[in-house]
Structure 1
Amino acid sequence: MSGSKMDTPGHSVSSSEETLQPTTIGSYTVAIARALEASGVDSKRIFTAMGIALDVSTDPMNRVPAATMTRLFRACVDVTNNPYFGLTVAKHIHLTHLHALGYSLAASGTLMDFCRRLERYFRLVSQVAHASVTQADDQVSMRFDHLIGLSSETEDAFFGFLIRTMRLLYKQEFKPVRVELCRPMPHEGAGPYEALFRAPVLFGQASSLLVFNKDDLAQTLSGSCPELAQVNDNIIISYLARLDKSDVITGVTQKIIEFLPDGDCTRDKVASALCMSPTKLQLKLSQRGTNFQQLLDDTRKELACSYLSQASRPVTEITFLLGFSDTSNFTRAFKRWTGLSPTDFRQQG
């Protein structure tokens, strides 16, 4: 997703610049170039005119300023004379363009896992919106609250990509209950949106929103692979720690994951690894509304649920991977987190 703020030329930004403006993963521009070529336009000519490199790698640390993406989209709409250019781009975004997050999403157990993963790790894709997932009765909503002004093509491309990907992972007949977009409806009408989403589309809304049937999101996906998802989740966290150097929660979570298997994951050790005193760490976490023990519990719970979904991992191995001294301690903690024993949780899955 992209937006408009601080219109800076170029295709990448330094770490000091990143703190000043939101960025988007650079490989997103690959899909835009392919959409231009599919529209009969020389992408090299457009990218050169915009001062953007065509040979963008898939490294998620290769970032594009949000304002640059907005200028690029504006130029693409002008040169193609296509008000639905964003929907064309959606056809060319591939899961691999999202690096480790793409592989993790593809290995999700259900579409609900898919949505939760996107909620947790969306910052790797873009810093221009905040993703959140909520449930009410028989529906699940995935909302993107914009942190800056976004180009219309951004919403079109990303939502189109999400629905196309969900159909690829689940079934082609899949459709949302409702789609809400911040963008105004194009003068040419809503036809292409309704054809793509196969659902009512509302324009001019406060947030970008996808509403799903809860039952659809609970179905097991054929490509489910908890082990692969877990490996890539850990890779994502390491990249986020680099991207969000000032984010103490991301840094602490990364160190907890690193130290847990040693059975020596203490606040003092994590603080030392982050080059700060335990008191300073405690203060920084309290400013974010949390504390070390809460993050330790949350991380252990998330890892435990992920490991237990991997049938090849015995409970004794999981116990030590999470830093517990014996299975009885792990079982007590897991019951406190979920209300179930590890064995019952695994059988339910």
Structure 2
Amino acid sequence: MSGSKIDTPGTDLSLREEALQPTTIGSYTVAIGRALDASGVDSKRIFTAIGIPLDVATDPMTRQPASTMTRLYRACVEVTNNPYFGLTVAKHIHLTHLHALGYSLAASGTLMDFCRRLERYFRLVSQVAKVNLTQVDGQVMMRFDHLVELSSETEDAFFGFLIRTMRLLYKQEFKPLRVEFCRSMPHEGAGPYETLFRVPVLFNQTSSLLVFDQADMVQALSGSCPELAQVNDNIVISYLARLDKSDVITGVTQKIIEFLPDGDCTRDKVASALHMSPTKLQLKLSQRGTHFQQLLDDTRKELACSYLRQASRPVTEITFLLGFSDTSNFTRAFKRWTGLSPTDFRQQP
């Protein structure tokens, strides 16, 4: 094993090209290092050969390019001679590796809330795929559309991590209805996948997919803490604004959250905070198929639902946190968004 040849940082990509690639949160490599060590391989030697720092920061702004992760996984499979190395990594990924998003996920009220957070904020974890959540005929489908070519181990590790985490938050008997991978099945067979997921697994599909029974997804989780989830959601949004400096929607959303409690959240004020004119802001938003009032409504609605799940917050406080002048205006807006009054929403099971 010590004599295995390992790919070193290559000349196939210039530093400039690598810097423009989609990235993954750097703390993810901590789990890979632990999986290597558990397999009897010196992770420091492998990381040094690939060019990954040994003291990976927990700051989510510390990122690794997609090509670096591919080279790292290729080396890991080679030195461990384990075609299921990604499934091994899944055992070592912890929610804290996802920074604030991990704490939000752990505090989710239901698995549906958990999945919606992943859909909204997955870019903090990785920019290599986009998550889409749909519900059809009593089933919840979580699809990962790949934006770049991924290593097979990336798919294995993240799906394994998700199912293990869902079991931890909900119940150990939990299992999906169906699992689909873009990757091809290892020559050694699908046995380890079926052992982990406890359902048949399809390979060579057009996208990665997890399918769940909707009844499981709406059960209350014992670790639910709406206040903690909301605080960390806001932290995630602030990091995404830094990560996606060119993403005007993320930037506007962050400023809306910041300005709402002051009762002075206008398009002009947000545009000024983003160092652009109101006209330029309107143009950028229209190019993304939206406008300021739509983002204001969407953000208020999402915050309102989150705040109302926090039993300790009175409706009067929520009213002013969302920038409304009085509770009657908030109630009318909330009924327009959800079809329910704030009180009726709170009384839902």
Task: Please confirm whether the aligned pair reaches a TM-score higher than 0.5, indicating the same fold.
Answer: yes
Q: Alpha carbons of 1:189 and 1:33: their partners in 2 closer, same or farther (altered >3 Å)? A: same
Q: How does 1:189-338 map to 2 (within 5 A)?
A: 189-338=189-338
- Deviation of 1:128 after TM superposition, in Å, equals 0.3
Query: Is the partner of 2:122 in helix, strand or coil?
Result: helix
Segments of structure 2 that go 5 or more residues without pairing to the other structure are 1-7
Counterpart of 1:348 in 2: which secondary structure? coil
Quote the offset at 1:243 in angstroms: 0.1
> Which amino acid in 2 is paired with 1:168?
L
- Given that residues 9 and 51 in structure 1 are in contact (C-alpha distance below 8 angstroms), is that contact kept between their aligned partners in structure 2? no
1:30 is matched with: 30
Question: What CA distance in whole angstroms lies between the structure 1 residues aligned with 2:229 and 2:176?
Answer: 24
SS of 1:131's equivalent in the other structure is strand
**Could you list the per-position Cα deviations for residues 76-121 of structure 1 after superposition, in whole angstroms to 9, with x for gaps in the alignment?**
0000000000000000000000000000000000000000000000
Distance, in Å, in 2 between the alignment partners of 1:238 and 1:287 is: 23
Shift of 1:307: 0.1
Distance 2:45 2:19 in 1: 30
Letter in 2 for 1:283: L
AA paired with 1:120? R
Paired residue for 2:134? 134
User: Which whole-Å deviations, capped at 9, do the CAs of 1:300-339 have from their partners, x for residues lacking one?
Assistant: 0000000000000000000000000000000000000000
Deviation of 1:19 after TM superposition, in Å, equals 6.4
- Match of 1:179, SS state, is strand
Q: CA deviation at 1:34?
A: 0.3
Query: How far, CA to CA, are the matches of 2:202 and 2:228 in structure 1?
Result: 37
Question: Alignment partner of 1:153: what SS?
Answer: helix
Q: How far apart are residue 136 of structure 1 and its match?
A: 0.1
Residue identity opposite 2:54 in structure 1: L
Instruction: Provide, for residues 221-255 of structure 1, a one-character-per-residue CA deviation record: whole Å limited to 9, x for no partner.
Output: 00000000000000000000000000000000000
SS at match of 2:184: coil
For 2:77, the aligned partner's letter is V
Supply the distance in 2 between the matched residues of 1:158 and 1:308 (Cα, whole angstroms): 32
**Alignment deviations for residues 161-180 of structure 1 (CA, whole Å, 9 cap, x no partner):** 00000000000000000000
**Alpha-carbon displacement from aligned partner over 1:115-151 (angstroms, at most 9, x marks no partner):** 0000000000000000010000110000000000000
The answer to whether the Cα contact below 8 Å between 1:46 and 1:75 also exists between their aligned partners in 2 is yes
Shift of 1:8: 6.3
Distance (whole Å) between structure 1 residues aligned to residue 137 and residue 247 of structure 2: 34
Contact 2:9 2:49 in 1 (8 A): no
CA distance in 2, matches of 1:8, 1:68: 8
- 1:92 aligned counterpart, secondary structure: coil
Q: Secondary structure at the match of 1:101?
A: helix
Counterpart AA for 1:139 = Q
In structure 2, relative to structure 1, the CA distance for the partners of 1:233 and 1:9 (3 Å cut) is: farther
TM-score by length of 2: 0.95
Kindly state the Cα deviation for residue 200 of structure 1 after the two structures are TM-superposed.
1.4
- How far residue 17 of structure 1 moved from its aligned partner, in angstroms, is 6.6
Please list every run of at least 4 consecutive aligned residues from structure 1 whose deviation after the TM superposition is greater than 3 angstroms.
Answer: 7-10, 16-19
> 1:345 corresponds to which letter in structure 2?
F
Shift of 1:53: 1.1
Which residue does 1:3 correspond to in 2?
none
5+ long unaligned stretches in structure 1: 1-6
CA distance in structure 2 between the aligned counterparts of 1:274 and 1:17, rounded to whole angstroms: 28
Equivalent residue letter for 2:294: Q
| Residues 18, 67 of structure 2: 8 Å contact kept | no
Cα gap change, 1:263 to 1:76, in 2 (>3 Å): same
**Matched position secondary structure for 2:143:** strand
* Cα distance, 1:113–1:191 mapped onto 2, change above 3 Å: same
Task: Output the CA distance in 2 between the equivalents of 1:154 and 1:35.
Answer: 13
Task: Please name the residue that 1:82 is paired with.
Answer: 82
| 1:8–1:67 contact (8 Å) kept in structure 2 | no
Identity %: 87
Q: Which residue of 1 aligns with 2:117?
A: 117
CA distance in structure 1 between the aligned counterparts of 2:272 and 2:51, rounded to whole angstroms = 43
Aligned residues: 340
